[in-house]
């Protein structure tokens, strides 16, 4: 009898606990249903890199077979503004290449003279053949000579064109307008893989923000952004101008050395309301907060 009473008490206790659990679950579900998702209202924070709107161009030098690209004369210095087509540097090989061009042009003149003479002879022999004053074999010889000298002329013209291209390439010109940001090779030095110099138009600067792929769905063109950092005297305002479409590894490393530095991100271009404070901060790192 005592055992039955105990079982009844235990059953009643379990039933009571089950009811309490059910009530708690219902309350939680109601609370979750009534709560607004905070992620949608949260700002998006990330790291960005400061750079010119059109990027940075590495101006290099051509490769000449058997000759290294040595800088002979440098006509700019860091900070100079360049116009498109303006001479940046002249390579040491320029005098030799100019001499080769002049020699090729002389060969062209000689080949043209020989071709003209051979053609005149062929025309003369054609008339003589009509009056039976020369044989057909003699006419064929003149025809072959004219054809041979014409081929030689075409070869000389091609050689001169190649020499002209090499000569022109020994003078390095700015491919576009911009400011000289960094010089990598000076007179007497070889132009290596880094190129001769870096050129960029700093009149309009942007920030390339690296947004984590998990947050990119909340980023849209037209959203406001705040740019800040230790290199800036005060925060700057910007607008999202473009959202990238390629997931890449982050290139701007975080300040914390133990932070995860191999994240998958998408680049977002932030245009600045006033980019003048960024003109001298190319490749600088900044914090970006994109407002929802």
- Which of the pair, 48 or 14, is modelled with greater confidence? 48
| Per-residue pLDDT reduced to its tens digit, 119-167 | 999 999 999 988 888 899 999 999 999 999 999 999 999 999 999 999 9
- Mean pLDDT over 49-59 rounds to 95
- Mean pLDDT over 247-266 rounds to 69
Is pLDDT above 80 for 12?
no
Question: Average pLDDT of the chain?
Answer: 85
Q: Which of 107, 122, 226 is nearest to 164 (CA)?
A: 107
Is pLDDT above 70 for 35?
no
Is pLDDT above 80 for 37?
no
Predicted pLDDT at 143: 95
Distance of alpha carbon 30 from alpha carbon 35, whole angstroms: 9
Distance of alpha carbon 34 from alpha carbon 12, whole angstroms: 33
Q: Dihedral (C-alpha) 60, 62, 68, 73: value to the nearest 10 degrees? A: -60
Q: Which of 34, 51, 10 is nearest to 181 (CA)?
A: 51
Is pLDDT above 90 for 27?
no
Contact 264, 20 (CB under 8 A): no
- Mean pLDDT over 244-251 rounds to 87
Q: What percent of the chain has pLDDT over 90?
A: 72
Instruction: Please give the domain boundaries of the chain with CATH numbers for all domains.
Output: 41-54+201-290 (2.40.30.170), 95-169 (1.10.287)
Q: At what angle do helices 136-169 and 94-130 cross, to 10 degrees?
A: 160
Is pLDDT above 70 for 176?
yes
Is pLDDT above 50 for 274?
yes
Predicted pLDDT at 41: 63
Predicted pLDDT at 32: 42
Distance of alpha carbon 187 from alpha carbon 175, whole angstroms: 20
Predicted pLDDT at 7: 41
Predicted pLDDT at 62: 84
Q: What percent of the chain has pLDDT over 70?
A: 81
Is pLDDT above 50 for 239?
yes
Whether pTM > 0.75 for this model: the answer is: no
Least confident of 18-27, 50-59, 169-178, 219-228: 18-27
Dihedral sign for Cα 146, 148, 150, 156, please.
Answer: negative
């Amino acid at each position: 009898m005592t055992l039955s009473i105990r079982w009844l008490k235990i059953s009643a206790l379990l039933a009571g606990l089950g009811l309490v659990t059910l009530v708690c679950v219902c309350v939680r579900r109601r609370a979750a249903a009534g709560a607004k998702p905070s992620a949608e209202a949260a700002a998006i924070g990330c790291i960005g890199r400061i750079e010119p709107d059109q990027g940075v161009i590495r101006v290099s030098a051509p490769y000449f077979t058997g000759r290294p690209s040595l800088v002979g004369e440098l006509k700019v210095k860091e900070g100079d503004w360049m116009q498109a087509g303006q001479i940046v540097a002249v390579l040491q090989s320029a005098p030799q290449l100019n001499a080769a061009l002049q020699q090729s042009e002389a060969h062209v003149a000689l080949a043209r003279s020989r071709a003209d003479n051979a053609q005149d002879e062929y025309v003369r022999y054609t008339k003589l053949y009509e009056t039976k004053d020369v044989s057909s074999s003699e006419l064929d010889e003149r025809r072959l000579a004219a054809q041979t000298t014409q081929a030689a002329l075409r070869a000389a013209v091609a050689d001169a064109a190649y020499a002209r291209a090499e000569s022109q390439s020994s003078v390095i010109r700015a491919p576009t307008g911009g400011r000289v940001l960094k010089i990598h090779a000076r007179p007497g030095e070889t132009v290596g893989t880094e190129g001769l110099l870096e050129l960029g138009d700093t009149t309009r600067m942007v920030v390339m923000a690296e947004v984590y792929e998990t947050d990119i769905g909340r980023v849209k063109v037209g959203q406001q952004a705040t740019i800040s950092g230790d290199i800036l005297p005060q925060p700057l305002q910007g607008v999202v101008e473009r959202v990238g479409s390629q997931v890449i590894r982050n290139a701007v490393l975080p300040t914390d050395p133990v932070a995860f530095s191999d994240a998958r991100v998408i680049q977002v271009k932030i245009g600045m309301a006033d980019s003048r404070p960024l003109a001298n901060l190319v490749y600088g790192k900044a914090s970006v907060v994109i407002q929802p």
